[in-house]
Chains A and B, each alone.
Chain A
């Protein structure tokens, strides 16, 4: 390269600029006087009302490839500084930052904004300003603009003129958009722990909240190592964030930051030192981090998980008997191979079908996880009946050709028998998948559908693997013990784990559908057992299966009536209070009618709100008191940060939920505390 030239510092900078220019237009250095991030100051309303607060937006527009920094810039960068020149009496508040993004460059973590962003600033206008007075505001803003290659500290002078008046004319649409990008206050206290080089944070958050690439942006410096990965797990109604603490971390009295849950929602929080629960259920991986390695690892995990399922109490008996039947079948190499393939097909297809159903449910918006089908007591009941039948079969009550391969059916149609055995094994195995497969299947749920299905198929393949090996490796078959009368004894012994599985299912049914549901289920099981006993006693006669018809009808009837309410997701929390959606117009109309109104604001991510809704707001005595007084209930759901609700909250001096308001005819509005009690509600409307 140009060895001959003598670079001065300036020449070298020129050279650098040329190098970076060659590397792409996005690394272009800004022209002098033209900032890489343009800054401007915009008022929500040019007319401001004396005695009130006006909001300004510092609008930043980075050129393509450039980024600006959050309040805590991360490993490098600096915080934006703003110096105001304003008329006497006027005071400008701190810069409010929208939820940032992260940018990892060569191992350094930066907290940044890559696209246009707006920082909000509240300005208090003194009460004594005469209407018509012009209020010129000027500010010098120092901030850092960077690409991945270069950084430029920039200075912008921004100015605008406000005018005192009696009525503001706010730029609603634009400022609603700016406010939507701001973090919302969590409301509930979070806790953190700095121990053994780890930073751990517990954030109270209802377990039903969907998360997409959650990340904790710390405002407090020195709490955690910015560049280290964060792992997020769920422990009941707590979100647990864990990452590395910086070396030699000093004790901190509090940690502030923003927990970003997904692209649209960040929660600002302050955490106090305290005990953090152990890591809970891992969350599913983020789709953007998908690599061939993670897919292969998940696939391998699924296959191994499937393999492990073979020794589960609910699967092992089915399986070992199938293996023995193969041993008994003896020499015919081709039919053994065909049976092994049919068994594999059955197992894989059932896993695929369950996986596809799960993906479809999730695509429909349901928060279903693997073994989702087990959340429905009707499915539990079907499994209970099925497992009991298998157990009774193993115990010798009746003969089932497909499973024991002892009957005529199997001799004729060994392949169909093998297929259904595989299908049965896979279906029965799902309750056992949880502990082994959680992570791999969790990963499957966020992969593209085709890859996810491949992982489900891997699970079925792993389940069928021992069989495939037996079918295709004669040497393994020869290692199987010789058939003999001991097989009958083993079969009866193996019925014990099956009965235990049935017991566990009955317990789950009881948990889901209550004592009545469990009793109904056990009655259906007893009925089935009697029918099967009858079947067994007349097995050698024609139409031996007729007694099963009334049993099947009875089971169907039970399935139809078994209560499912216990598992239904938390229904509209205030069903008891007959709430209407909140709007200011509706509130005004109700007040015109001289009705007392109870207004409350909630959000799915607000655990305090949920506690109140499950407690005081749902109590029968509150319902009665409200009915007696003809109280109207309006509920505002702020989960999505509805702008109208946001403004209403702000007008009551709140930046977040919960907020509980009682309007009584002819009296000023009363704001109730954030933690409600039944007595508090009743006395509030009684006044």
Chain B
């Protein structure tokens, strides 16, 4: 009996020791939340979320059409600029007209800036005149982290075959208001190329804006 106890303890100690001796020391606490990085050209991960009307929406049901994912937080000044100027609403409308599925995703955690329940989301849509195909609620941040969404807005374009065609900023402004620099809307340009069956000329860019308010 004693012998078994001792042998067990020794094995446990040795096993624990193997983990206790790291190869090199890591220089800050591991982030409590790990964001996944998606490679453009790879499959866009499927997901299912409830939208503002309570309906379950999954990415896979739109296979065959281009899909835009827009990370949204109505409280973020960079998002407000897009909606305040009407640019985002025009993009929604153009997408609907062209057979593109536009999904707005809100990954703000409860208590954080931009978090909304279904009713508040419906009011936001009505108030702002937004016309996404669906406004999806992701309060746990699971889909945001799967896509590595970092900022609001952070934009993704999925081509009709379900592959990720674009990931990054909404436009080339870098978030600044400098009127001298011409601004290219990376999302609309990528959509045009996807619909024309061409390779996306700017497949990635650096997203700018507020950080996504994960919990």
Interface residues of A (CB under 8 A from B): 3, 6-9, 12-13, 16, 19-20, 23, 75-79, 81, 83, 102, 104-110, 142, 144, 146, 149-153, 155, 213-215, 221-222, 225, 227-233, 242, 246-248, 279, 282-286, 289, 297-298, 300-301, 303-305, 307-308, 436, 438-440, 442-443, 469, 473, 475-476, 479
Contact = CB atoms under 8 A, between A and B. Distances in A.
Interface in B132-190: 141, 145, 148, 150-151, 174-178
Contacts of B38: 247
B21 A227 contact: no
Contacts of A110: 211
Rank and list the top 4 A-B pairs by shortest CB-CB distance, nearest first.
Answer: A304-B17, A107-B33, A301-B20, A247-B37
A221 B174 CA distance: 13
Given A153-B77, A300-B20, A221 B27 contact: no
Interface hub of A108, A225, A476 (most chain B Cβ within 10 A):
A108
B75 A304 contact: no
B210 A282 contact: no
Contacts of B204: 248
Interface stretch (B45-53, B94-102, B119-127, B191-199): B119-127
B55 interface: no
A305 B17 contact: yes
Nearest to A279: B24
B113 A20 contact: yes
A110 B212 CA distance: 12
Nearest to A285: B25
Nearest to A248: B39
Contact of B25 (A20, A153, A231, A475): A231
Contact of B27 (A81, A214, A308): A214
A516 B113 CA distance: 73
Given A151-B77, A152-B77, A9 B124 contact: yes
Contacts of A284: 25
Given A75-B150, A152-B77, A300-B13, A282 B37 contact: no
A305 B10 CA distance: 12
A307 B75 contact: no
Contact of B78 (A109, A153, A233, A286): A153
B20 A151 contact: no
Nearest to B77: A153
Contacts of B25: 231-232, 282-286, 439, 442-443
A102 B37 contact: no
Interface hub of B22, B119, B124, B206 (most chain A Cβ within 10 A):
B22
Contacts of B214: 106-108
Nearest to B26: A229
B36 to A, nearest CB: 8
Chief secondary structure at chain B's binding surface: loop
Nearest to A5: B123
Given A108-B212, A225-B37, A283-B25, A150 B75 contact: yes
A230 B113 contact: no
Contacts of A3: 119
Given A6-B123, A106-B213, A149 B112 contact: yes
Contacts of A7: 120, 123, 127
B200 interface: no
B98 to A, nearest CB: 27
Interface size class of B (residues with CB under 8 A): 35 or more
A155 B179 CA distance: 14
B28 A215 contact: yes
Contacts of A476: 2-3, 6
Contact of B175 (A19, A78, A108, A242): A78
A282 B24 contact: yes
Contacts of A248: 37, 39-42, 204
Nearest to B33: A107
B162 to A, nearest CB: 17
A307 to B, nearest CB: 7
Given A438-B21, A469-B6, 18 more contacts: A9-B74, A77-B211, A107-B31, A107-B33, A149-B112, A151-B78, A151-B211, A152-B77, A215-B27, A227-B31, A231-B26, A248-B37, A248-B42, A289-B27, A289-B29, A301-B17, A439-B20, A473-B2
30 contacts: A7-B127, A8-B127, A9-B124, A9-B128, A12-B75, A16-B114, A75-B211, A76-B210, A78-B174, A79-B174, A104-B31, A106-B214, A107-B31, A108-B212, A150-B113, A229-B26, A230-B28, A231-B23, A248-B39, A248-B41, A248-B204, A297-B16, A297-B19, A301-B17, A304-B17, A305-B17, A442-B25, A443-B25, A469-B6, A473-B6
Given A12-B120, A110-B211, A78 B28 contact: no
B190 to A, nearest CB: 15
B34 interface: yes
B27 A232 contact: yes
A29 to B, nearest CB: 10
Contacts of B75: 12-13, 16, 150
A146 B21 CA distance: 38
A195 B1 CA distance: 52
Contacts of A78: 174-176, 208-209
A261 to B, nearest CB: 12
B207 interface: yes
A405 B203 CA distance: 78
Contacts of A298: 20
A436 B17 CA distance: 10
Contact of A108 (B6, B13, B35): B35
Contact of A475 (B2, B23, B37, B109): B2
B179 to A, nearest CB: 10
Contacts of B128: 9
B13 A106 contact: no
Contacts of B211: 75-77, 105-106, 108, 110, 146, 151
A440 B39 CA distance: 37
Contact of A304 (B20, B23, B35, B109): B20
A108 B35 CA distance: 8
Contacts of A6: 123
A229 B40 contact: no
Nearest to B41: A248
A175 B87 CA distance: 45
Contacts of B13: 300, 303-304, 307
